Amino acid sequence: MSNKKISASLAVLLFSGSLLTVSAMAVPRLVNTPVAAQNKPVLQDMARLASTGSKAPVLKVEAPAPVSTVNSDLQLMTEEELQQVYDYADRQVNSDPRVSGREMTDAEVKRRQVLEDQYVYEGVRPKQPLPLEPGKAELYLDMEQNTYTYPERQMTDEELLQLIDWYQRINYVMSKRHVKAVPGPEELSQKEAVALAASSVGKLFDVDVAKLETNVGYDEAGLNKRRTWTIQFSPYKSLTLMGQGKEFWQYNVIIDGPTGIVVDTTASNFSLKRTPISASAASLIQKDASWIHEATQIVIEKQGETRKITKAFLTDTATNNKRGMVAVKLLLEDGSSYTAEMRYPDQSLRCLIYEPANMAK
């Protein structure tokens, strides 16, 4: 399982408002505990330990969580409205929507993010639906050409809400077609997966996820086409925080469904500025043993790994230098490995990736 494949999967978590509302027609412009259990009772024991151990985060949300009324409102869509979305999606199944003329400005994107949280959590709705043919307004979607046209001026809140409402309708309608995958009888349940994910975030980042929003997805074609749990912990109304330029942390965990092995735990902060690593700095890093020492300490002390580390070295340096990251790969005695990706120059952990020796490629 390569870092690139994992990063591609995480992109869905990092840049969507929710794991459960990702659409192929998005707005033009998301516990590293190696438990290769063979039966469910063992997995249940692990989840119980993860949720009740003294160092594990408490999963109970003590403060009232915002409640979305989106689905209950969209259930009122007429059969004609539902069929309109189905017809549009069927025509554009292999084509992303285009934008005619200008792109959305940064200011509009930020306003849209705040408005989307208001749409989801506060019941704010547009006064009129998005026009779906030319000639009706300055902002419209030409459904036949699959093309959006934005006004030359800055869009109003009403127009941005019309866009948000249309994409929410697409997500809702297409979700009715999607057959939800369910884990097999020998695989982790959702509750167990969330407990393991929370435990991993707590171990690696010293974070209690109790009051964070939890979004969970189960994908039958996840990493390496294996079934995977994807769990995201983020602040409620994180789009508002993003739109207002406020700093916050978000945690994403990927768990292999068939084995119950947590393969990736990542911490993201969109406010952090990355510092590309120059050739001279990269040369110094190659000679600096502190990077490998820090990665080793993370795996042994935070992760709690007891197997012998047989080799440790920097990996994917050409790519990571551009990203401002230093990745250290640590090989274990049984052929398994960890990759600890750390930010430059402070050596803070961004993600820990685990690759079992026996996991099918």
| pLDDT given for residue 101 in this prediction | 83
C-beta of residue 12 within 8 angstroms of C-beta of residue 19: yes
C-beta of residue 359 within 8 angstroms of C-beta of residue 227: no
| pLDDT given for residue 112 in this prediction | 98
| pLDDT given for residue 94 in this prediction | 62
Name residue, tokens 């393969």.
Answer: 263
Residue 329, strand partner residues: 313, 339
38 CB neighbour count, 10 Å cutoff:
10
Burial class for 261, CB neighbours closer than 10 Å (0-12, 13-18, 19+): buried
| pLDDT given for residue 233 in this prediction | 97
Compute the distance between CA of residue 7 and CA of residue 320 in angstroms, rounded to an integer.
Answer: 12
123 Ramachandran zone, left/alpha/beta (phi>0; psi -120 to 50): left
C-beta of residue 197 within 8 angstroms of C-beta of residue 233: yes
Of the candidates 230, 199, 205, the one whose C-alpha atom is nearest the C-alpha of residue 217 is 230
Compute the distance between CA of residue 124 and CA of residue 133 in angstroms, rounded to an integer.
Answer: 24
Q: What is the pTM of this model?
A: 0.78
Strands 140-142, 213-219: parallel, antiparallel or unpaired by DSSP?
A: unpaired
C-beta of residue 313 within 8 angstroms of C-beta of residue 328: yes
Strands 147-149, 213-219: parallel, antiparallel or unpaired by DSSP?
A: unpaired
CA atoms within 13 A on the CB side of 72: 6
Q: Secondary structure of the chain in the HEC alphabet?
A: CCHHHHHHHHHHHHHCCCHHHCCCCCCCCCCCCCCCCCCHHHHHHHHHHHHHCCCCCCCCCCCCCCCCCHHHHHCCCCHHHHHHHHHHHHHCCCCCCEEECCCCCHHHHHHHHHHHHHHHHCCCCCCCCCCCCCCCCCCEEECCCCEEECCCCCCCHHHHHHHHHHHHHHHHHHHHHCCCCCCCCCCCCHHHHHHHHHHHHHHHHCCCCCCCEEEEEEECCCHHHCCEEEEEEECCCHHHHHHCCCCCCEEEEEEECCCCEEEEEEEECCCCCCCCCCHHHHHHHHHCCHHHHHHHHHHHHHCCCCCCEEEEEEECHHHHHHHCEEEEEEEECCCCEEEEEEECCCCCEEEEEEECCCCCC
| pLDDT given for residue 186 in this prediction | 82
Which residues are CB-neighbours of 104 under 8 A, at least 6 positions away? 27, 28, 29, 112, 150, 155
The tokens for 32 are 């590293």
Per-residue pLDDT of the chain (361 residues; tens, 9 = 90+): 444 444 433 433 333 333 333 333 333 332 333 333 333 333 333 333 333 333 334 444 444 578 888 989 999 999 999 999 999 988 876 678 899 889 999 999 999 999 999 999 999 999 999 999 998 899 999 998 999 999 999 999 999 999 999 999 999 999 888 777 788 888 899 999 999 999 999 999 999 999 899 999 998 766 667 889 999 999 999 999 999 999 999 999 999 988 999 999 999 999 999 999 999 999 999 999 999 999 999 999 999 999 999 999 999 999 999 999 999 999 999 999 999 999 999 999 999 999 999 764 4
| pLDDT given for residue 334 in this prediction | 96
Compute the distance between CA of residue 225 and CA of residue 36 in angstroms, rounded to an integer.
Answer: 18
Compute the distance between CA of residue 249 and CA of residue 129 in angstroms, rounded to an integer.
Answer: 34
| pLDDT given for residue 4 in this prediction | 43
C-beta of residue 264 within 8 angstroms of C-beta of residue 256: no
| pLDDT given for residue 298 in this prediction | 98
